[in-house]
A and B are shown apart, each in its own frame.
Chain A
Amino acid sequence: EAEVAQSPRYKITEKSQAVAFWCDPISGHATLYWYRQILGQGPELLVQFQDESVVDDSQLPKDRFSAERLKGVDSTLKIQPAELGDSAMYLCASSWGPGMNTEAFFGQGTRLTVV
């Protein structure tokens, strides 16, 4: 069964360092989401792509976070510099796309710890 691949699974970094997460969605999925989930809370949408275009990044802290999906396939989320409050699970998800209103498939996530 096709899966959303994320790497790394775990990342420990010092504050003020740069960190990057990678996501490979299910083949053919046009919509890609990056969510941040703090323990005990719901996933918070950071950025939503439709193919290579950003649909929404209103909750992305743009002073330190950036996201790209250059060829409309895999995606990278970067944080520079990392802060202690960025410690969370970063989840990537993908779906077929708008107008099809289908389920989002989630990857296993990257658990980030900033020390």
Chain B
Amino acid sequence: GQQVMQIPQYQHVQEGEDFTTYCNSSTTLSNIQWYKQRPGGHPVFLIQLVKSGEVKKQKRLTFQFGEAKKNSSLHITATQTTDVGTYFCAGISSNTGKLIFGQGTTLQVKP
């Protein structure tokens, strides 16, 4: 079945350092979404990418969708303590329409 893999599972950075998480799908996606979950909270939508090779920016966050629409990345420039949380990618399969989440990357930022 469809699988969405994320690496790394954990990342500890010093405040001000950059951070990147990578997402790979076993199947072609119609789109990919990114969510952030704070400790004790629920996933909150960040952004959606639809087009092959698409790049979107939100302040210090840069999101990319691969040319083959099977992989994606999230890059945070100059992390802040407010960036702490778990970042999930979630893909909608072109075939099934199911919204499948990756395992997430948990970011810890040391002040």
Contact = CB atoms under 8 A, between A and B. Distances in A.
Interface in B16-52: 30-31, 33, 42-45, 48, 50
B103 A41 contact: yes
B36 to A, nearest CB: 11
A56 B88 contact: no
Contact of A42 (B30, B33, B44, B88): B88
B111 interface: no
A42 B42 contact: no
B101 interface: yes
B102 A101 contact: no
Given A58-B1, A103-B45, A104-B45, A98 B101 contact: no
A45 B100 contact: yes
B42 A109 contact: yes
A44 B50 CA distance: 22
A21 interface: no
B45 A43 contact: no
